[in-house]
Structure 1
Amino acid sequence: MFIGSLVSLLGLGVLLWMLFTLAIYALPFFAAMSVGLHFYESGSGVFEAFALGFLAGVATLIIGQLLVAVIRNPWLQAGVALVYAAPAAMAGYYAVYGLSGAGFDSETARVVFGGIGAVIIGGTAWARMGDLFGGAPAPADSVEAASSPYP
């Protein structure tokens, strides 16, 4: 019984780690699945639908990277990051809502924990967007000033 509980907790930890790590890819994954399923249901073959869905997901990720690299306004960069973090927040809500069903019978508690999970996972994905897309390069003056031995 103890080993089963320990393995269950380990599995829950792995699922939460994967959720936090992969949350920033929710929008490209959604785009890939939507395009792939649309082409599959319209009569394309499995290979064609998979290839087009994969290309749509990659294009969505590259477009986001290009937008953050080209746009210098931090408010617009934050807006692009928010567009990518919103589906991550939705995925976080439903993941925590589903996982909380194992411990809570109350629907209110499940919704509250789902909302908390959405805020935490969406915020984490929004913060990690800078890591994924790369922050703006440091100004040349600050790099030279930091490397100079003289004040």
Structure 2
Amino acid sequence: MTIILILGVFAGLYMLWLVFSLAIYALPFWAGVTTAFFMHNHGQGLIASILGGFAVAILMLAGGQVLFSTVRSPLARLGLTLLYTVPAGIAGYHAVYGIGAMAIGAGAIVTILSWIGAFVVAAAA
């Protein structure tokens, strides 16, 4: 029983690390998945849809990095930063809400903790 508790703690810490390290990829992931579903729903094959989704996700990630390194305007950089951190915050909100709802049940405290988690994840992204 003790080993299960220890492994549970390590699994929880690993999930927390994944949330923070993968938060910046929320927008490219969302764009890729949306493109793949759009292509598949409009008659494209499964392989073509998956490849199209990967292509869009890679272009979003690379395009954001290139734009951030070349744009010098602080206002444009702020807009680009918000474009990538807002989806990361939304992903952080839902991750904390899902874990909190499993641990203590849905309620006001879980919602408050989820908002705090959203701001922390967005700030970390």
Normalising by structure 1, we get a TM-score of 0.79
Q: Superposition pairs for residues 2-151 of structure 1, below 5 Å?
A: 2-125=2-125
The amino acid that maps onto 1:62 is: A
Query: Structure 2 CA distance, aligned partners of 1:57 and 1:49?
Result: 12
Deviation readout 1:38-73 (Å, 9 max, x if unpaired):
111111111100111111101111221122122102
The amino acid that maps onto 1:109 is: I
The structure 1 segments of at least 4 consecutive aligned residues displaced by more than 6 Å after TM superposition are: none
The amino acid that maps onto 2:97 is: Y
Q: Any gaps of 5 or more consecutive residues in structure 2?
A: none
Q: Say which one has the larger Rg.
A: 1
Q: Percent identity of the aligned residues?
A: 32
Q: Does the 8 A contact of 2:96 with 2:114 survive in 1?
A: yes
Query: Structure 2 CA distance, aligned partners of 1:56 and 1:42?
Result: 17
Q: Which has the higher helix share?
A: 2
Q: Does the 8 A contact of 2:100 with 2:106 survive in 1?
A: no
Other structure's SS at 1:44 match: coil
Query: Structure 1 CA distance, aligned partners of 2:97 and 2:61?
Result: 27
- For CA contacts below 8 A with separation 6 or more, give which structure has more relative contact order: 2
Q: Any gaps of 5 or more consecutive residues in structure 1?
A: 126-151
Normalising by structure 2, we get a TM-score of 0.94
The amino acid that maps onto 2:52 is: L
Please provide the CA RMSD for this pair: 1.1
Q: CA deviation at 1:9?
A: 1.1
